[in-house]
Amino acid sequence: MIKCFFVILLSVLAGNVFSSGVPELVELTPDNSKDLGFELKEAYSGDDKVRMVIFTFPKTTHGNWVAKRVQLSLLDSTGDEVMGASSDYVVTDEAPSVMAHYQPGNYDMAIMVQYFCKVKGCVEAYSVRSVTHYLTRKK
């Protein structure tokens, strides 16, 4: 009986922790990106061995959820993260975007933008899990 009580108590506590800190994730695809206000396009890098991409995203979602964090991950050929970078985004008058590059064939890239609302614990993230796969499907 006591063991059952502790399992239920831990489940409730864990649920509260995760509900306030883990963002709801929306995966971006070539099919849904434009409707959601996102764009991922390839740019000329000047080197055939390097793929340069520009990822444009909306300043806000849901009317008042503000873009606050952009994360980039360099992935190896097995999909494991080799390097990651995260930076806080400050809203300006300019259209928000991030430019990145990598060597396709050897590497891939993932991109995520997190939006926060004014209520504590409100987080939503939009992600391209594989830039290579996204661009291949887009063509």
For residue 40, pLDDT over 80 is answered with yes
Tokens 């409100």: give the residue.
Answer: 122
Q: Quick one: pLDDT band at residue 138, thresholds 50, 70, 90?
A: confident
Whether 87 and 56 have beta carbons less than 8 Å apart is answered as no
Copy the structure tokens of residue 60: 């806000």
pLDDT > 70 fraction of the chain, expressed in percent and rounded: 83
First to last CA, the chain: 59
Q: Which amino acid is at 8?
A: I
Copy the structure tokens of residue 91: 């809203």
**pLDDT at position 31:** 95
On average, the pLDDT of the chain sits at 84
Tokens 């971006």: give the residue.
Answer: 28
CB atoms within 10 A of CB 49: 9
Nearest CA among 109, 99, 104, 100 for reference residue 49: 104
Helix, strand or coil, per DSSP, at residue 35: helix
Whether 39 and 56 have beta carbons less than 8 Å apart is answered as yes
Between residues 104 and 5, which one has the greater pLDDT? 104
State how far the Cα of 131 lies from the Cα of 137, in Å rounded to an integer: 10
Q: Domains in the chain, start-ordered, CATH in brackets? A: 23-138 (2.60.40.10)
- Name the DSSP letter for residue 59: S
State how far the Cα of 102 lies from the Cα of 124, in Å rounded to an integer: 26
Copy the structure tokens of residue 37: 């206000």
